[in-house]
Structure 1
Amino acid sequence: MKIRRIPIALRLFLTVLLTTLLITTVSLGVLHVNMQRNFSKYVADVEMQKLDLVIQNLAEVYAVYHDWGNAIQAQILQIEGEAAPDDYDRLSRWWLRRQYDIALQQRYFQEHTLANVNSSVVEPEPGKRQANAEELRWLELNLPSQFQPFEGLVFPLSANQNAFRPDRKNEGHQNTTESSGKKQFISMPDRLGLSSRLSLYDAQRQFVVGEPAETQISFRPIMVGEKIVGYLGLKPVLDQEDALSINFFSKQTRYLLLAYALSILASLIAALLLATYFKKPIQRLLNGTRELTKGHYQHQVKVNRNDELGDLSTELNHLAVILDQHETSRRQWVADTSHELKTPLAVLQAQIEAMQDGIRKATPEHLAAMMHQVNNLKKLTQDLSDLAQAEAMQLKCYFSSIDPWQVIEQEIESFKPKFEQAQLDLIVSGEGTQLQLDIDRFKQIMLNLLSNSIRYTEAGGQVHIHTSQSATEWTVYVDDSPFGLSDEQLARLGERFYRADDSRTRATGGTGLGLALSVKIAKALGGELSFAHSPLGGLRCKLSFPKIKS
């Protein structure tokens, strides 16, 4: 069953879109719920700011009586006459509303008095009614006091039908007030409906009087000096269950849905742009990897970005260069190997054909020449095998504790006839130590280094073998005199089949693999073989190994 593939651009687009939708949904949901729960309280807090004068009057009343119950009872007892059975209860429930009416009248009088004073300087606002001087004078004569909230009433309350003034412009009532000296009871219209939602609590927030509410209430402290003596509470005007609130929140829901739709549209556009922004460089990288799989190692990916995709394109281009170098090296390896095998095989073929044709007899000298070519082939194939194993890190090594200088002295002793035959002056000085090495592999390195010195040093020259050591490392140097090497030739030493002097090496039987193999063996033994210009004018081979930790 074939699984449907989802492109990375589509995954990125869906991830951004769904994340945005989730955040938008949660945010709008929380906003809506929070508004529905707290908006009514916010409205009440705003309305509470209009009750500053009421709170101030209540604080002054408490400062006189020092108890809310005493204050209410004392102010009710100021009314003359004989009370009906339920008059005291009615006035107790009405007391807080009456305090609100008094504060409302006082504010009204203050605002209109100030407005009339300023009207001579500043033109009044159009459409706003201004009280005339006669009305202000009547208001001033009948302005109630918070200490006598029921002034103008008599017991029983049913006898006060004519005590309320329906029309302030009634001159008869005005004359009655002036002649009797008593204030007329005035009831102000409560357009905001605050008086029906007020409640009074003591300092411990125990209900005293007013309109108790089971829903949340906004509180403002009533203070005398620095002490809180009570709280004025206001029931919210909005209820989540009433029609106005439902209508209000329905409108808010429509606005939230509109914001939700706009958020979806914006996130959709952003996700598409972001997906496109990432898709193009990813597609270029994909095309680049396809070119590499086809063997087009010179293909370069162009992604000009300062981010991880830019870094990936740089690494991919670097990989292409390395693969191209390896492919070139592989081809050169095949060409060099076939070339090195071709020469001894051609010589063997010519000698065998000459013997078959009777041109050359199978004498011991001719057979020895053929054996020499066979040995060259054997050495070449063995070197190739060892080099392949070393590069694959599969070269077998058998470590033991040895003194490398003793091994070097033994090899030098066996090479002395060759040094004498090449007319080279050999100088040897060194000291040994105990190292963990494979003795056969170490001998293989020294054999290659000594053979290389004999092969590349002119007759009458000099070869100097010496050692140095530190607390952590032991080193042997093989220095020879010219032929010397250029810097370019020195840099290529250790490459497979590289010969600094191809004609001279072929004449002496070199394959061009000795130094390359020695470098790999030294690394496999935990050491390092490097090359530099010798103080004698030729080549310096430096072979170093770490000492055994005690």
Structure 2
Amino acid sequence: MTPRPGAGLRPFSIKTKLGTLVVVSVFITTGLLMVALRTETELRFITVFSVIASMLITQFVAHGLTAPLDEMNTVARAISHGDYTRRVSGAGRRDELGDLAVTINSMADDLEAVDRHRKELVANVSHELRTPIAALRAVLENVVDGVSAADPETMRTALKQTERLGGLVETLLDLSRLDNGVVPLRARRFEVWPYLSGVLKEAGLAAGRRALASGSGNHARADVHLHLDVFPPELTAHADAERLHQVVANLVDNAIKHSPPHGRVTVRARRGERPGSLTLEVLDEGPGIPESERHRVFERFNRGSATGSDGGTGLGLAIARWAVGLHGGDIGVAESSRGCRIRVTLPGVPKAAG
């Protein structure tokens, strides 16, 4: 932990308190000795009074120092047993114990967040796995029991559920790579228009397959119009095409989920300031993201409260932020008069390679 500015000069630090204790004790002893000399009081009485006064003052100061430590010990023991809701009350102190209390509370906040994310991961993944597994099992049971024939249509239904399972597993693998930081970046130059056109075509087909497999719903949309806006048309960029595919696909998928009936999702691409740099925007016509939630929208497992749960894991935008970060770029929610606008900036060719 980096010391706060002026930490060694604080008037209420423990060093200051201990120094004051020594000075006060010396003054008391000196004062009693002067009284003894002037009043001819026996020295042994003065010594006893001096020791008692010093002990009382020391006890008072020691209690002020040890009581917070006892509380910190209790809170730390509770945290070690899995109770991440406990906090130290002495965070407002203006000494080293106050710094320690702030550190313990910050640690407890982080552990509580990690524990919450772990529980949300189990709940979300279990929910996501249950639906395709149940559908796949039902299809296969019908085939085995002779209720339905193993015709191409039945097999296509089973294949769709298998693809959905594969997509979830791939998402979890991406999350694991994110944590381990072992994903290499294979940047190359490519033409933006045909590349994004292919990504949008895949996104439209995927939305259509989900709509056929699970019927109409907020997370299975085939009625949303996808529009591509690239200028200039011959625009090129320098990036890892596979990782950028994750970014655009996740952003478009999220925009489709929150679009109104027969809405429009626009992917806009423009040249950046440096060679090979790129600015991407994904715009939808949905309810948008409240300003109070914009700082959390790219967190893992965050599924938002503005539009309710959409049945996803809440990992898509977190993975998009990770992929953009690998490039050294930025991603965020931009101001928009309607719907939601997500802006991505990629730096292009590194200066050393330019």
TM over 0.5: yes
Kept in 2, the 8 Å contact 1:527–1:543? The answer is yes
Kept in 2, the 8 Å contact 1:473–1:546? The answer is yes
| Number of residue equivalences | 295
User: Counterpart of 1:428 in 2: which secondary structure?
Assistant: strand
Kept in 1, the 8 Å contact 2:203–2:249? The answer is no
How high is the sequence identity, in percent, across the aligned residues? 26
Matched residue, 1:543: 344
Q: Distance in 2 between matches of 1:417 and 1:288?
A: 52
- TM-fit CA distance, 1:447: 2.6
1:483 aligns with 2:286: yes
User: Could you list the per-position Cα deviations for residues 199-227 of structure 1 after superposition, in whole angstroms to 9, with x for gaps in the alignment?
Assistant: xxxxxxxxxxxxxxxxxxxxxxxxxxxxx
Matched residue, 1:514: 316
346-355 vs 538-547, greater mean Cα deviation = 538-547
- TM-fit CA distance, 1:369: 0.9
1:334 to 105, 118, 122: 122
Matched residue, 1:447: 249
Q: Distance in 1 between matches of 2:64 and 2:53?
A: 16
User: Could you list the per-position Cα deviations for residues 427-451 of structure 1 after superposition, in whole angstroms to 9, with x for gaps in the alignment?
Assistant: 322475664x433212222232334
User: Counterpart of 2:343 in 1: which secondary structure?
Assistant: strand
- TM-fit CA distance, 1:527: 1.9
Matched residue, 2:3: none
Letter in 2 for 1:338: S
Q: Distance in 2 between matches of 1:281 and 1:302?
A: 8
Q: Which runs of 5+ in 1 are unaligned?
A: 1-11, 25-254
Matched residue, 1:397: 184
Q: Kindly tell me: are residues 371 and 501 of structure 1, through their superposed partners in 2, closer, same or farther at Cα, counting changes over 3 Å?
A: farther
Matched residue, 2:82: 295
1:427 aligns with 2:229: yes
Matched residue, 1:463: 266
Query: After the TM superposition, which residues 9-408 of structure 1 pair with which residues of structure 2 at under 5 Å, given as runs?
Result: 271-303=58-90, 305-390=93-178, 392-400=179-187, 402-403=188-189, 406-407=191-192
- TM-fit CA distance, 1:455: 4.5
Matched residue, 1:411: 196
Q: Distance in 2 between matches of 1:275 and 1:517?
A: 51
Kept in 1, the 8 Å contact 2:120–2:301? The answer is no
- TM-fit CA distance, 1:271: 4.5
Q: CA RMSD, aligned part only?
A: 3.9
- TM-fit CA distance, 1:341: 0.6
Matched residue, 2:31: none
Q: Distance in 2 between matches of 1:497 and 1:301?
A: 28
Matched residue, 2:39: none
User: Could you list the per-position Cα deviations for residues 1-27 of structure 1 after superposition, in whole angstroms to 9, with x for gaps in the alignment?
Assistant: xxxxxxxxxxx9xxx89x97xxx9xxx
2:297 to 468, 471, 493: 493
User: Could you list the per-position Cα deviations for residues 86-143 of structure 1 after superposition, in whole angstroms to 9, with x for gaps in the alignment?
Assistant: xxxxxxxxxxxxxxxxxxxxxxxxxxxxxxxxxxxxxxxxxxxxxxxxxxxxxxxxxx
Letter in 2 for 1:493: V
**Bigger radius of gyration among the two:** 1
User: Counterpart of 1:345 in 2: which secondary structure?
Assistant: helix
- TM-fit CA distance, 1:268: 5.5
Letter in 2 for 1:309: L
